[in-house]
Amino acid sequence: MTANPILLQKKYTRVIECFAKQQGLSLDEALGLFYRSEVYQLMRDGISDMHCMSDLYLAEELRLEYQRK
């Protein structure tokens, strides 16, 4: 499934904001981490309909991804 590009950009914004708040990061720090993440790549490419997951779920996936690294 392919997401509307405008809606996907809004989703990215919400996930980045949620991740920043959860981790106590600035928006700039969270933005950098997000765009270098596997979560972003999966969302962008429409793999497993990741873009359909909740913002909170995706922020948690980001946290787990960076915890493993």
Indicate if the alpha-carbon torsion angle 51, 55, 56, 61 is positive or negative. Answer: positive
Write the pLDDT tens digit of every residue in 6-25. Answer: 999 999 999 999 999 999 99
- pLDDT given for residue 4 in this prediction: 86
Q: What is the distance between the alpha carbons of residues 7 and 25, in angstroms, rounded to a whole number?
A: 24
* Nearest CA-CA partner of 16 in 40, 44, 38: 40
CB burial string 26-39: b at 16+ within 10 A, e below? eeeebbebbeebeb
Average pLDDT over residues 28-33: 97
CB contact at 8 A, 23 and 63: yes
Q: pTM here?
A: 0.91
- pLDDT given for residue 1 in this prediction: 55
Q: Is the confidence at residue 2, as pLDDT, over 60?
A: yes
Question: What integer best gives the mean pLDDT of the chain?
Answer: 93
Type of residue found at 4: N
